A and B are shown apart, each in its own frame.
Chain A
Amino acid sequence: MRTRGFPPPDTDPAGAGALLSVDGLVKQFPGVRALDGVTLSVRPGEVHCLLGQNGAGKSTLIKVLSGAHTPDAGMIRWRGRPVAFPTPLAALRAGLATIYQELDLVDGLTVAENVFLGHERSRFGFSLRTKGNAEAAALLRRLGHPDIAPGRPLGTLPAAGRQIVSMARALSYDARLIVMDEPSAVLDAGEVDTLFRVVRQLTADGVAVVYISHRLDEIRQIGDRVTVLKDGRTVAAGLPARTTTTAELVRLMTGRTVEYAFGERAGPARRRELLRVNGLGRAGEFADVSFTVHSGEIVGLAGLVGSGRTEIVETVYGARRPTTGTVTVDGRRLRPGSVRAAVRAGLGLCPEERKSQGLFGEDPVYRNVSVASLARYATAGFVAPARELAAAARALTDLDVRPGDPRRPVRTLSGGNQQKVVLARWLVRGCRLLVLDEPTRGVDVGARTELYRLIRRLAADGVGVLLVSSEIPEVLGLADRVLVVADGRVVHEAPAADLTEADVLDLVLAERDTSGWQRANQGHSAVVPHDRSEEPT
């Protein structure tokens, strides 16, 4: 056994009593041993959390469980019997459903059609719409969402609604175990709460849930037991979710004992105003937004998904055209709606959707770095690859991107390193004001800390930073000044030191009370505050 000193405390070797038990699972890809001895045991009716950094093997594990990959070695027992699911459909039929991060739903179909996709309610090849709708409605009711109409086009549902539909689909196969891959990544706090309520309902019915998340607070809130993966191996199995300390979990995942380490705040050095936003507004998205960013200052925008924060920073950056207001850099007004003008003035953006908005996935890393400053390595339009590569390589070394090979396709890098590549793009350009939209999304804990250090360092070097994050502790920990955004307006502005997480949550949720389709289901204490006492600061 490779679990080295972590014998699963409460798993009997035969897996009797366990709904699912996995032992010694190995999966080899060309050049990578993605799974290298994974052990996992899930009981009926529990929420079993799967924890691990990016690349620890979580995704591969769930793909093997769901029948998408065939394991090279090891044993999977399902309800006591050894199984090998040849296809995802076989796994589904056996009662093991997987809800992936990128939901596999079809926008153009209705909710009910999505629920029964692949096993449509039909007779002689003719679909039975009424029957499908009725059964879908029953499933949605069971999930506590009678408000989602089965006939509604899926495309009109928000992310949380889609997740409910995915779960209804899993239940439509009479799933005994539902694997959820980072279900909270696309949800805001209220929606996460709804999700948790549904999960509890499922487990109360005896359905087991394997829950994957980066967010330790969520795991503590919803999980019963935790299994930690590292480098394709189980390093700890079946730990109690509520009592295991964060420090211990982080140590297991990383071998380090840090989680959020925000580094030193730079003192109020000689600051001058870099960016001034005045009365900025965009019809239907946000209105009357005014603020400034100084050199060396980190200004954070805190708010829920959908509050308008991404729209605000993208408008500042020129990616959207404002309907009112102005953006001024160094006292000069930017041409509205022009990214080029913003970039020329010294702005740089690390966008929210890294893959679709930030990276050229097939291209090598160095080209992703140099793309915004190509003209710098070119004479009369001719690029000098040597200069370009050297500059990119320096930036990569500087940011400690791993692996450091600048010619590797950028898609092969982990989330944290991809984010550093986007940062490097603006560093080599000599950017003076960085707009960071969810810079740590999909970035594992270890890499987050590095990113925080980096952002702080850039600010110390005089770069102004405009930061957007859904994670309130992140905004409070990193920023000097915080703007709280709700429903398209800046509802509060204060130095970060004067705010607590609870303050921000109150501001955010107060505005939110009157909006949102899921309001009826939303409890008052939507989010359990982050357990900051355990964080080394």
Chain B
Amino acid sequence: MTDLNRRRLLAGGAIIGTGGLLAACTGNTPKENAGGAVDAARGDNAKAGKHVTIGFSAPQADHGWVAAISKNAAAEAKQYSDVTFQPVEATNDVTKQISSIQTLIDKKVDALVVLPFDGKALTAVARKAMDAGIPVVNLDRVFDTPLGYRTWIGGDNYGMGQSAGEYVGKRLKDAGVAKPVIGEVAGIDNLALTQDRSRGFKEALAKYGYRVSIRQSAQFTVESGQQVMSNILQARPKLDAVWNHDDDQGVGVLAAVTQAHRSEFFMVGGAGSANAMRLIKADKSVLKCTVTYPPTMAASAVSLARLIAQGRGMSDLTEREVPAYMVLASATVTKDNVDRYLPLGFES
């Protein structure tokens, strides 16, 4: 039955590609990004430049993360008096997305921000925009060729696993555990993003001489998290650490832990939901840490598109142009730094 489930997700939304299901953004990015921190450190990027129109296209919000992407992009654009934001109707139909991007090209917008439903299928139309002189900022799901985008910005799934592995490995090493029992609750197994995360986790643990002793995949849903974890807890009467790929399914994972009255291990989450961060801050559950899938990429993409369209670079960098490729780092959020990240956490 999970198989069907998977197919559905693959057909409908796998989509959400490389990181989609997991990382959601909040609407409060402008404050963080374009706000205080920036003003102090940054040069003249916030200053109004020539007026630009930025087109925006994303898949339909069949998951909170995509919804957050659209919201964040719009909110960021609002911060700038010199930007006209022009979103087109969200769709999960590749041909529709192509034709709506075509419309934006015909309108001669100054820049495009595109989260493609399917990177491969939308490569051609993205190239068309680039050939027409419209710079494209490619969000998260990458096009087939660099000719399709001026700048790519997205998250790092391997890095997420690595961060989680580093945290688990170090903490166990420090505690002097020799042969720890480490569990992993993965997301939907045949998505590339899940495999990347697991690889990062495994390789980081290997540095410490540890390995995953039980790994089961859930469906990114609360219910599947509960089901899988309740069985894992039976399979391993004693655990030392658990990494759960996704904070949303983590609600179910934690429910299973509570119901089984288990507390001998610590748990690391994934994606960085506000709920998970609050639990980390409260420090009463087994959840001690979560690794983020940078939730601000849509807002960043819009501000990059603005700079590119205005022909400006990032003022903190020496270069006069905006970089072509940006992989966002996965942060490790623990009790010590949670206050910094809490405002970025997304409500699942």
Q: Check whether chain A touches chain B (CB < 8 angstroms).
A: no
What is A's interface to B at a CB cutoff of 8 Å? none
Chain B residues with CB under 8 Å of chain A are none
